[in-house]
Copies of this chain bind each other. A is one copy, B any other.
Amino acid sequence: MSAYRIVGMETHDIRFPTSLELDGSDAMNPDPDYSAAYVVLKTDDGFEGHGFAFTIGRGNDVQTTAIKALEPYVIGRDAEDLGGLYKEMVWDSQLRWLGPEKGVMHMAISAVVNALWDLKAKREGKPLWLLLGEMTPEQIVDLVDFRYLSDAMTREDALRILRKGAEGKAERIAHLKEHGYPAYTTSPGWLGYGDDKLRRLCKEALDDGFEQIKLKVGADLDDDIRRFKVAREVCGPDFPIAIDANQRWDVGAAIRWVNALAEFAPHWVEEPTSPDDVLGHATIARAIAPIRVATGEHVQNRMIFKQMLQAGSLSFLQLDSARVGGVNENIAILLLAARFGVPVCPHAGGVGLCELVQHLSMFDYVAVTGTMEGRVIEYVDHLHEHFEDPVVIEHGRYTAPTRPGFSSEMRRESIAAHSFPDGEVWRNQ
């Protein structure tokens, strides 16, 4: 590849009025307006890379401003060395004070890093999962920031994992292209839905071939018992049904509530308490066993994941494609999970998170763990129509993307219509 430079950055504050339908309602987020703080990077040879941070409405303007603040870090830059450029943004000493490596500024870095990867994959003519999957172990570890990880995983440890993971790569690429990657669906389980809608959507999930569903819980225990009973009636006693509390409980309340739902055999309980509470999650995990804990969508960075793995806080690691520092930090997290033998079952939904995260799970299968066993990617069936390369679900599985890029590009008409507050969708509210 010839060298290329970033010569322009656009940002957009894009919001979807999802609160009107109670799509996405849960115990902590009663009325989200799914949003994207969106960035487009342009090169001197005519390519565009798209990325975004996902938010749920208010504050999307702050998130967009934070992305804009990164413009001087990328304009004029050779965008080939994505390990170096990622670390420069994360380790800028002045910006670092705003985190470090957490919250708005880190999500902004995530958006820009992901846009750089979209760009690179498009220029190389490959879907991101395949581009990453075909890299050598040495190339991959150069993308990772091992700072603060060495008590759990060194660069050499990661190289060993990747060298082992490289065996049989070609067969797995072929398998993935033919069979895709298993998905589960959260669509039936939003708190705002009535029992009839729940029953109908559970039935549809089974008919569509999903291997697992998830119910939101945590607002009212009697409601949760009733809804779980409805879901069990439709899905049968052995079908995996996970529950998700979205950080609703303190440690003691989590233990009591989950144990009160134990008769329904939840496949996992997700986000039982604060995403910052490594030790709290570990206490809960011990107290509710054999029910297992899943968490990660709000985990801020690799240091918290490292500790959750060290402490036994989780049995399923739910990385998010757009909260930690983009593809680079997610590679570190996939490697940490592999080192501790914990399956990654990514968070998705929102706006475009399914589109992004499928690439990371597929890379994990091709080049890191080499297995899909016990692994599923979350799937939520909305807002995909706004993307140029939307996810394709067949028989309850994500089909491997074939178009070059990170599947992160939103349609220009959608960007225009949902721009806040001047797009037509908002002018007409």
Contacts and interface: CB of A to CB of B under 8 A. Distances in A.
A251 B65 contact: no
A175 B97 CA distance: 37
A149 interface: yes
Contact of A310 (B56, B99, B279): B279
Contact of A93 (B31, B62, B252, B273): B31
A274 B303 contact: yes
Interface stretch (A101-109, A331-339, A356-364, A409-417): A101-109
Given A98-B55, A151-B252, A307-B277, A104 B28 contact: no
A58 B102 contact: no
Nearest 10 pairs between A and B by C-beta? A103-B103, A104-B104, A57-B94, A58-B94, A151-B251, A276-B303, A148-B274, A150-B250, A65-B65, A56-B97
Contacts of A148: 250, 273-274, 277, 280
Interface in A138-155: 147-151
Contacts of A101: 276
Interface of A: 28-33, 55-59, 61-63, 65-66, 69, 92-108, 147-151, 247, 250-253, 273-280, 283, 298, 300-301, 303-304, 306-307, 310-311
B250 A149 contact: yes
Contact of A97 (B59, B65, B98, B276): B59
Contact of A62 (B32, B69, B100, B283): B69
